[in-house]
Chain A
Amino acid sequence: MFLGRSSFMNSESLGKGWDVLDSQERARFEQLVLPHLDAAFNLSRWLLRSRADSEDVAQEAMLRAFRFFRGFNGGDARAWLLQIVRNTCYTWLEKNRQVELMTEFDEDLHQQSNATPETLAIAGDNRERLTRALETLPVRFREVIILRELEGCSYKEIAAITSVPIGTVMSALARARQRLQRALTQPAQQEASHEL
C-alpha cells in the first residue's frame, strides 16, 4: 500500500538536488513528470481559485519537483508531483489567504440535500454556477472532488497526495459531494455563507 512511501519527498537531505541532475535524469524528468503539467496547473487553479496565481504556484511547484527529482523513488509520478503541488499551494494559501485554511472542515452535515438527478442536471447545466458552487467548498473538500472527478485519481492516489488514510478519502468525498449538491441546489444560501 502507499504507506510504504507516504513521504515521496525525501531529497531534502541530498541538498540542492538539481546540482547533480545529469542530462539523463533531466530527460527522465521531462518524460515522467513534465507530461503532468496540466494536472499540476489544474489542481492549483482549483485550490487557489485563481488562474493568475496558479500560474506562479504551478511553476514554482514544477521547479521544486525538478530540484527534488532525485528523491523520487519511482512509482506514480503524477501522484508524486501533485503532492508537491498541493504542498506548494497550501504554503501559498497560508501566506496569502490564511482564513481559507481555517474554514470549518467538520461542519454538521445532517441537513439533507434535496438534490435529485433532475434538479442537479438543471443546476449543473450552467458551468459558471457549477464553478462557483465548487469554489464555495472548503479547500479540503474541493481538493478531493478535483482529484477524483477531474483528475480521475484512485482513492489510493488521493490518499498519497493529501497524506490521509484511504478510509478518510471515502468519507471526505462523500461529504464533499453532498455539500456540492447542496451548493448547487441552494445557491443563494451557499453564497451568503461564503461571504461570512
Chain B
Amino acid sequence: MTAAYRPIVFTLNGRRVSLRVHPLKRLLDVLREDCGLTGTKEGCGEGECGACTVLVDGRAVNACLVPAAQAAGAKVVTIEGLKGRHPLQRAFAEHGGAQCGICTPGMILAAAALGPRPTMDEVRTGLAGNVCRCTGYEGVYRAIQKQEAGSRKTEGRRQKPEATGRKPGARRRAPNSRIPNPEPRIPMLRRRRT
C-alpha cells in the first residue's frame, strides 16, 4: 500500500515531485509508471545497454540501477525534460542518429552530458555505455557533429512531430505550470576546430 511508504522528494525535469513508492523501486519504474514518463526505456535491466540513461545532478546514470530512495534530493532530467527542443534531438532525427529509436532517448541524454566540445575520443568513451544495434554508431556521431556545427542543412520542409496519443492515466500538467528550461548544466556541444 503506497500510503505506507515515506515520500521521496526530488526534482524531475525542473519540477518538484513527491512520491510514495517503495524505496527500492527502480527509478526507471518510478519514472515510467508513477510519473507517466515513458521516454526512458528498459533494454536490459542490468545497467549494460544504457537505454534507461537519465541525468541525475547533471551526470548520466542508468535508471534501472537506482533505487527510488537514492533519487531523493536530486535533480533528475529525462528525455521529456528536453521537450523535443534540444539541438541534439533535431540532429538525431535529421542526420541518421535514430533508426529504431529505442536507444535514442538514452543516447541523447548521454551525449548531452558529454560536456562542451567533445573530441571523437571523448564521444566514443562517453557513449560506450549506450548500446545501439541499428546504426553502428556512425549515424550517432554524424548527428552529434552536425549538431555541434549548428547545421540546418536539412532538405525539405520542417516536419511536424508525429502525433502521439496520451497514455491513459498519464499525469496531466496544470495548464498554467511552466516547465523551466532544460538543466543549465546540459551544455551545447561545439566541435573543436582541428
Query: Is B one of A's binding partners?
Result: no
**B residues adjacent to A (C-beta < 8 A):** none
**A residues adjacent to B (C-beta < 8 A):** none
